[in-house]
Amino acid sequence: MKFLDQCKIYIRSGDGGGGAVSFRREKYIEYGGPDGGDGGRGGDVWIEAVEGLNTLIDYRYQQHFKAGTGVHGMGRNRHGAAGDDVVLKVPVGTQVLDEDKETLIADLDHVGMRLLLAKGGNGGWGNDRFKGPINQAPMHANPGQPGEERWIWLRLKLIADAGLVGLPNAGKSTFLAAASAARPKIADYPFTTLTPNLGVVDLSANERFVIADIPGLIEGASDGAGLGTRFLGHVERTAVLIHLIDGTQEDVVQAYQTIRGELEAYGEGLADKPELLALNKADALTPEDREARAAELEAVAGRRPFIISGVSGEGVTDLLRAAFGEVRRRRQAERLEESGGQDAAEEWRP
């Protein structure tokens, strides 16, 4: 299945049905009169976040969504049926933006969240509604109200607990494959990863989190170089960033500074997120090179990097446990906030 994380679609709610103009004509009923029924209301357009989806590919080949029109009223005070609603099912983490692609309408960040995007038009009143002592035979009825229409953008930001960042060929896909059951494409050339990948890290029964691997950044990505910063939105919601640096390259300090500069240029709080620094591909380094490059990174970053190898698995578990510590702190803070500042109850464990 292809990955699609943003698309533009057209939505239109249904028009209301018109009211009817009708009179009773029964031969053996002494008093006649108006009996026109009301029109049915038009269908609504809803959007709902559901489980089991991780791409917007369903909206690539169908961009127009129109709800049903209400049925017109009929004689004998028969009201028209309401038009059918349209429900757009999207992955959790989808944002709804106005046509200008800047105004945020909704952020569907949890399963089951549902939002009305366009309300259907009301049905018109039939002539039975207008009868009275003065006007006993009204000859008019209301038309149905028109529905609403608009263009909107859908933008997906994957829900992940930790995010992998780094230059192309830093070993992010290899690390993801070593840390989870995900099987991303791995090759010895830059930009092997062209779309984000998700993997579930399962350290133990109570230590489980989702990690996201995004395509590599290069210098000038904030200005559109390489694949740009389009996919950085998928790590905006994460609790921690895992910054991988290829230990086999000559200048590890420059690699670190390049990524940090692009995170700061992108904004959205990415540069302020907790960051775990890791010197990758340690299996290809001598002990002297490991220590020298780790010291260089420590001098510029102000903290000791993890020394890992996605190929051999060295240091991977320690790095993942440190990442889960940040994820757990964020989860505890969220539970505390939901409980209104009271101490959150201890998480139930089997």
Domains and CATH numbers, the chain: 1-156 (2.70.210.12), 162-338 (3.40.50.300)
CB within 8 Å of 153: residues ≥ 6 apart: 6, 7, 8, 9, 96, 97, 98, 99, 101
Q: Can you tell me the distance from the alpha carbon of 14 to that of 69, in angstroms, rounded to the nearest whole number? A: 4
- Written as six digits, the tokens of 237 are 């919601």
- Check residue 298 and give its pLDDT: 93
> Is 94 within 8 Å of 56 (Cβ atoms)?
yes
Q: What are phi and psi of 50, to 5 degrees?
A: -130, 160
Walking along the chain (350 residues) 10 residues at a time, the average pLDDT comes out as 83 97 84 92 96 88 96 95 96 94 92 96 96 92 96 91 89 87 61 72 85 79 63 86 91 92 87 92 90 93 92 91 92 81 53
Q: What are phi and psi of 322, to 5 degrees?
A: -65, -40
The SS3 assignment for 115 reads: strand
> Is 49 within 8 Å of 8 (Cβ atoms)?
no
- Check residue 334 and give its pLDDT: 82
* 80-123 confidence digits (pLDDT tens): 999 999 999 999 999 999 999 999 999 998 999 999 999 999 99
- Check residue 52 and give its pLDDT: 84
pTM, full prediction: 0.78
Task: Please give the distance of CA 48 from its chain centroid, rounded to a whole number.
Answer: 11
Q: Can you tell me the distance from the alpha carbon of 197 to that of 214, in angstroms, rounded to the nearest whole number? A: 7
- Check residue 184 and give its pLDDT: 64
